[in-house]
Amino acid sequence: MIIPVILAGGTGSRLWPLSRSRHPKQFHALVSSEPLLVDAARRVSGSGGYLPPFVITNEENRFGVVAAFRNAKLPCQSIVLEPEGRSTAPAAAVAAFLALEKAGPDALILVMPSDHHIENSRAFLDAVEKGRTAARDGRLVTFGVKPTKPETGYGYVKTASPAGEAAAVLKVDRFVEKPDRETAQRFCAENLYFWNAGIFLFGARAYLDELARFEPAMVEASLNAVRNATADPMDFLRLADSFRDCPADSIDYAVMEKTEKAALVPLDAGWSDVGTWDALYDAAEKDEHDNATRGDVLLRNASRCYVRAESGLVAVSGVEDIVVVSTKDATLVAKRTESGSVKEVVQQLAATRRNEAEQHTTVHRPWGSYETLHLSERYQVKQIVVEPGAALSLQRHHHRAEHWIVVKGTARVTIDDETRLLSENQSIYVPLGATHRLENPGLIPLTLIEVQSGPYLGEDDIVRLEDVYARV
């Protein structure tokens, strides 16, 4: 059996303002109607020979993973939380140890990013099947995409022989760093080079054995982190804090560039890493003027543009080759072919401590989500959505009072020693300093409007007294 391992810890800063560090691109529906993370999981869900996936992420993104799998009604083996990201090689080592515990010495793991787009899932699964025999024989399989243009943003893999219809698995000659444009053009002209898709298939034991040859400290640190991991009430598996001391490196650098067991399976499935707005433009459907749009967009005399409206109408007139992305709290306008430089914009925002660098107006929590509708001096208005059967922590505030108005569903509200049920159009006042809890006892999501008032409205003005999700 193959156990998928989905790596979901990235930030996707080049897709700002949609992707932000506290809700990155894998949680957004960029190409299909579902988030990229769900697309990745669904690709190997329900197919013969696959167990439910391990998802490796971090503390900040854990509830986004839970919400994505819950909303998609997909099974998950375990959500593994790294105390600190140490790149892909240690993450794969952790997954390999867990796979050995789950499926025994013959376990195969399919390591794949959560934030890539693959147009043809059937072709992807066919490629994995071609690599399965090689992986069972101890080979470390990577998947390579035949270049369609001289791309300087990808790493390349050179094979020892040209790709042919009869060759399902090719011997790897070497891995190549991101090239300059002239070198990339030469790679495209030859029949030996593939884009490195960052997807791997290997036996859990075989990977650990090779990793131990080249990076023994990484294997030891990963094993200790798994052995001393703890599970919490939401079934997160928290790696031990000692994982922070693990050497950081990618699978490519730590193993694949050094091993003699590397093999490549060509992947012809419409792959894209959708790492920039320009890459997303390439993957999108276009109109007769080569424009790609999403949301409420009006175009006039525009061509070769990518325009995305997440909130409200966006009108674009008399322009070519630009990206326009509008969210509720930020708008990006950039030259499409230079959209990779958006990362520098995010760095500038972070340097000036702008909240837009990290957080959306909608914030996901284990019980649901909240969205800031208006923020001003001494008052804030939020929309709160609580999932059926979920509950916020028992808490109090030192600096604010709250007024709750139910607009959909049923709320169970506890204030000090009194508990009440509220239905649609009913409201309740939570005084400053009162101990309170909000619950959804119903079968449909609870939606309410919260009006906060006080001299300080920060999220750190929450004193949790009890919490079913074991948050501090």
Q: Render pLDDT for 214-240 as a digit per residue (tens, 0 to 9).
A: 999 999 999 999 999 999 877 799 999
Residue 60 pLDDT greater than 60, yes or no:
yes
What's residue 255's pLDDT?
95
Residue 151 pLDDT greater than 90, yes or no:
no
Reported pTM: 0.89
**Are the CB atoms for 30 and 78 separated by under 8 Å?**
no
229-276 pLDDT per residue, tens: 999 877 799 999 999 999 999 999 999 999 999 999 999 999 999 989
427-443 pLDDT per residue, tens: 999 999 999 999 999 99
Determine how β-strand 331-335 pairs with β-strand 322-326. antiparallel
Give the span between the Cα atoms of 159 and 162, in whole angstroms: 7
Extract long-range pairs of 344-353: CB within 8 Å, 24+ residues apart.
345/16, 346/13, 346/16, 347/13
What's residue 166's pLDDT?
52
**What band does 162 get if pLDDT is binned at 50, 70 and 90?**
confident
Where residue 389 falls (left for φ over 0; alpha for ψ -120 to 50; beta otherwise) is left
- Give the residue among 211, 210, 168, 159 at the shortest CA–CA distance from 187: 159
Which domains occur in the chain, in start order? 2-272 (3.90.550.10), 277-350 (no CATH), 362-466 (2.60.120.10)
User: What's phi and psi for 220, nearest 5 deg?
Assistant: -65, -45
- Give the residue among 468, 10, 46 at the shortest CA–CA distance from 235: 468
What's residue 165's pLDDT?
53
Give the span between the Cα atoms of 262 and 43, in whole angstroms: 24
Residue 48 pLDDT greater than 80, yes or no:
no
Segment (H or E) for 277: helix 277-283
**Are the CB atoms for 240 and 280 separated by under 8 Å?**
no
The answer to whether the bond into 147 is cis (omega within 30° of 0) is: no
| Matching residue, tokens 């660098």 | 357
Instruction: Give buried/exposed letters for 388-401 (b at 16+ CB in 10 A, else e).
Output: eebbbbbbbbeebe
Three-class DSSP category at 282 = helix
**Are the CB atoms for 347 and 283 separated by under 8 Å?**
no
Give the span between the Cα atoms of 304 and 278, in whole angstroms: 10
Q: What is the DSSP string of 24-91?
A: -GGGS-SSSSS-HHHHHHHHTSS-TTBPPPEEEEETTTHHHHHHHHHHHT---SEEEEESS---HHHH
